Structure 1
């Protein structure tokens, strides 16, 4: 089977069977398509470890980051492992492929006092004006930070994902893994104001289950969410190149600074590996065991 045909089958497999996120599937398809192009689309069985080493070397010559190289290696490992299981070849050439070490990149975070001032001002202004868009934006910002959500998770929330009595939200993260996350009092205030006063004004039919709505009444898109966050917290961090993940990074760091247990933060973030969460310990000065409401600066 040609590589290009096998890549299509593999990406369908990881999307439908392994249920990886659309972003991960796109990244795998892009990596493998680049390999197909660099090897002139041979039969899957004809690709050997030297082809793969040359492909990775050419990527380093183009200045691709260590993180991207590591992801490319993961992409081909998954693909050729699957190819062996499917009987498309009898061996796995990636077994002799060395994974490049990823460089440590510290996350962008905002100082808790400055971020709190911005979020408080947004929520107060929205309450005063009653503008539906302002109420939505305030609720989105507070929930992204208060529950440390990924932007895709926040945009994918439905109204019934919330338990406003217990101030928790049910989230489906990467790999469709479900977790229930608490959020603090400011987020609860902003979300209640949006659900009761703002959201009904934007309903236009269509997807009426979505928690966050766009100006035309459909589910809020990820790109719009990025713009909302960029405009709100860019000045706090000091750069316009900032997105929703900065709020998630900030929440995790502030929780650890406040004394939250590392494993509790891991569960809140939905990280499969504790090692992924440990990057946030670079600013933590004390290691205490505390519940969310004692640790989060906006609980």
Structure 2
């Protein structure tokens, strides 16, 4: 019996997915594309059968996927696409080992590349102020609530879930601070700036009494008198950004990122920012320092006469 080629083995695996596993047509087609590229890679390396493939060959395949092949007209793949392709390749090798085609599954220990660290998106100070000014008016209880909510988010860098989980007793006017409950139930007390204090006090005096319907401890209330939901709080920010004329996507976390970035730009110590944000590790906070370094590079590149 002639030795099976990689193409033969790929065909057998796809038949297995279709007939025995009952995989959907789109799934099989996706595997066919991924394994077709893998087959091309092996042929280019003069590898005739799976018994010749090593773990290093599989790892090098991932490197090639990220690099792309302009001669073959193959564009570089994103990390998510590389991870999906690896799933196909690992399934293929696992099947071959189970069928006795090869002695061992050489792809078993190969892991997808770590996704590139995405820098948090922050807004310039003038855009943050424009959002806050557009949050609401003093003429309506919900306008007072919306302004208080967004002022608080930016003033203390709270997560959206931390803000909507606040009760009235968590806000201390005299101490100009708020008690936030972070991940894992860990509490921290964070200072609140003057504009946020004024906005929250205005809401408590003129806004919240018009919204409350029953004994409800929540600081931020919805139109029915219950605790404001995460989705509604998110919409408050989206609407304010639209009224401010911003044409970029924003989220409550955008204000948190802006809070941290602006503190570091102003000279705050990274460990102080870590405590304010409620990060368990300073490593998480240090990603914001990359943002400020990138900002400095951009300013330098555009402003220095000998930058280029």
Decide: shared fold, TM above 0.5. Answer: yes
Give yes or no for the alignment of 1:195 onto 2:204.
yes
Give yes or no for the alignment of 1:231 onto 2:247.
no
Following TM superposition, by how much is the alpha carbon of 1:99 offset from its aligned partner in structure 2, in angstroms? 7.3
Instruction: Give SS of 2:190's match.
Output: strand
Give yes or no for the alignment of 1:173 onto 2:182.
yes
The runs of 5 or more residues in structure 2 that have no matched partner are 1-61, 66-76, 84-108, 294-308
Instruction: Give SS of 1:210's match.
Output: coil
Give yes or no for the alignment of 1:249 onto 2:257.
yes
Following TM superposition, by how much is the alpha carbon of 1:97 offset from its aligned partner in structure 2, in angstroms? 7.5
The runs of 5 or more residues in structure 1 that have no matched partner are 1-56, 70-95, 286-299
Give yes or no for the alignment of 1:213 onto 2:221.
yes
Pairing of 1:260-271 with structure 2 (within 5 A):
260-271=268-279
CA distance in 1, matches of 2:209, 2:287: 40
Q: Which residue number corresponds to residue 120 of structure 1?
A: 133
Following TM superposition, by how much is the alpha carbon of 1:120 offset from its aligned partner in structure 2, in angstroms? 3.4
Pairing of 1:8-47 with structure 2 (within 5 A):
none
Does the 8 Å contact 2:134/2:241 carry over to 1?
Answer: no
Moved over 3 A (4+): 63-66, 96-100, 234-237
What TM-score, normalized by structure 2, do the two folds share?
0.58
Cα displacement string for residues 87-138 of structure 1 (whole angstroms, at most 9, x for unaligned residues):
xxxxxxxxx685742311122211102321331354xx623x2x10000000
Instruction: Give SS of 1:179's match.
Output: strand
Q: Which residue number corresponds to residue 104 of structure 1?
A: 117
Q: Could you tell me which of 251, 275, 281 is aligned with 2:289? A: 281
Following TM superposition, by how much is the alpha carbon of 1:169 offset from its aligned partner in structure 2, in angstroms? 0.4
Does the 8 Å contact 1:109/1:237 carry over to 2?
Answer: no
Does the 8 Å contact 1:110/1:236 carry over to 2?
Answer: no
Following TM superposition, by how much is the alpha carbon of 1:64 offset from its aligned partner in structure 2, in angstroms? 9.2
CA RMSD of aligned residues (A): 3.0
